[in-house]
């Protein structure tokens, strides 16, 4: 089942249900990304913010807060906070990865320069922290500042683990938590805390965001080796060509004999790739069953997310978040 064939799209259902709140989030984002003194800031930010994206992270905040009975207003601030943190990390990621395209448009580092991306990213981080101070909730501040540190640590870890065949599944998981899951889990956890949810509910919301983020990233890794380019917008083998040690490869390296190890060393560590290497890499992944094992991991994490959500009181939003966990893995199931 591809994205387009999906019968229902839970993120669209969430967007419709949360439309009023998300409008308020978008107003706040536009207001706070403005800068009277430095017009370069809203230019760069608007390029990225207006490009859209699903606004999944702010929706997670609103959904978590509202399913726990919160009527506002500070879930709006926290939703804008997580979107600012996300946008700031995208700006910095594109500098670090020397990316040319993001969401189908040229990246800010290409349209302006790396300097603007670094400094406007810093500005958005600072604005995020200003926003998160406003609700006056110290526990929320602690959750979000911890998430920011986990994100940055994950990014640095990825930098040093990249192309290092000693990278284990444990390290992979830390990188993925930093890249994706930390902000998902902070979004749902903070939503619960601002709503005054019980400790059990807050824990379930954290577990949901954490598992959903991990499933999300593993699916991404898997589709890079077996996806439909039309549906994913990525070419099969991009990660291999960029020498990324993603989960199917990490699993295959762990099972490699000497000859296979030499292959991975040459293609990933040393980056000396030749014609036919991608096909050979995929054959090795097939031989050791690591694409299938990776698929099972993604399904397990999605099931964990769904189970965490099932522990929360039944409601429309609770059902939609459960559906979202299914949807994330629908493309590989």
Which CB, 38 or 254, lies closer to its own copies? 38
**Candidates 55-63, 147-155, 214-222, 231-239 — which segment interacts with its own copies by CB under 8 A?**
147-155
Contact yes or no for 268/245 (Cβ under 8 A): yes
Other Cβ atoms closer than 10 A to 72: 15
Judged by CB under 8 A, does residue 179 bind its own copies?
no
Judged by CB under 8 A, does residue 99 bind its own copies?
no
Provide the 8-state DSSP code for 221.
Answer: H
Cα-flanking dihedrals φ and ψ of residue 102, to 5°? -150, 125
Judged by CB under 8 A, does residue 16 bind its own copies?
no
Judged by CB under 8 A, does residue 46 bind its own copies?
no
Which CB, 145 or 265, lies closer to its own copies? 145
Judged by CB under 8 A, does residue 136 bind its own copies?
yes
Contacts 24+ apart (CB under 8 A), 228-236: 228/2, 230/2, 231/2, 231/3, 231/4, 231/331, 232/331, 233/104, 236/278
In whole angstroms, give the CA distance from residue 43 to residue 182.
Answer: 28
In whole angstroms, give the CA distance from residue 38 to residue 31.
Answer: 14
Judged by CB under 8 A, the residue of 11, 53, 110, 155 near its own copies is 155
Contact yes or no for 229/235 (Cβ under 8 A): yes
Judged by CB under 8 A, does residue 240 bind its own copies?
no
Shortest separation between residue 164's beta carbon and its own copies, angstroms: 12
Strands (E), 222-267: none
Q: Which of residues 258-287 bind its own copies (CB under 8 A)?
A: none
Judged by CB under 8 A, the residue of 49, 90, 157, 202 near its own copies is 157
Residues at the contact surface with its own copies, assessed by CB under 8 A: 35, 37-41, 89, 92, 95-96, 114-116, 118-123, 125-127, 129-130, 133, 136, 138, 141-142, 145-146, 148-149, 151-153, 155-157, 159-160, 171, 174
């Amino acid at each position: 089942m591809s994205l387009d064939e999906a019968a229902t799209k839970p993120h669209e259902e969430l967007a419709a249900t949360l439309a009023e709140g998300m409008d308020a989030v978008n107003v706040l984002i536009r207001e706070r990304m403005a800068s009277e003194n430095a017009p370069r800031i809203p230019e760069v930010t608007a390029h990225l913010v207006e490009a859209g994206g699903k606004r999944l992270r702010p929706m997670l905040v609103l959904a978590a807060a509202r399913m726990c009975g919160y009527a506002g207003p500070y879930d709006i601030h926290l939703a804008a906070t997580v979107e600012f943190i996300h946008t700031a990390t995208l700006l910095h990621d594109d500098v670090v990865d020397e990316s040319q395209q993001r969401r189908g448009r040229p990246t800010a580092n290409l349209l302006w320069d790396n300097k603007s991306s670094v400094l406007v990213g810093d500005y958005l981080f600072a604005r995020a922290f200003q926003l998160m101070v406003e609700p006056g909730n110290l526990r929320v501040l602690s959750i979000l500042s911890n998430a920011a540190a986990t994100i940055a640590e994950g990014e640095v870890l990825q930098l040093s683990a990249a192309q290092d065949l000693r990278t284990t599944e444990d390290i992979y998981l830390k990188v993925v938590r930093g890249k994706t899951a930390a902000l998902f889990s902070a979004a749902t956890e903070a939503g619960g805390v601002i709503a005054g949810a019980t400790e059990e509910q807050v824990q379930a919301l954290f577990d949901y965001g954490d598992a959903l983020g991990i499933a999300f990233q593993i699916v991404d890794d898997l589709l890079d080796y077996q996806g439909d380019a039309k549906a994913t917008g990525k070419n099969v083998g991009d990660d291999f060509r960029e020498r990324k040690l993603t989960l199917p490869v990490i699993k295959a390296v762990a099972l490699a004999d000497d000859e296979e190890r030499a292959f991975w060393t040459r293609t990933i560590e040393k980056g000396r790739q030749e014609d036919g290497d991608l096909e050979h890499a995929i054959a090795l992944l097939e031989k050791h069953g690591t694409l299938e094992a990776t698929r099972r991991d993604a399904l397990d994490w999605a099931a964990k997310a769904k189970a965490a959500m099932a522990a929360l009181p039944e409601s429309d939003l609770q059902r939609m978040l459960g559906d979202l966990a299914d949807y994330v893995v629908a493309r590989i199931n």
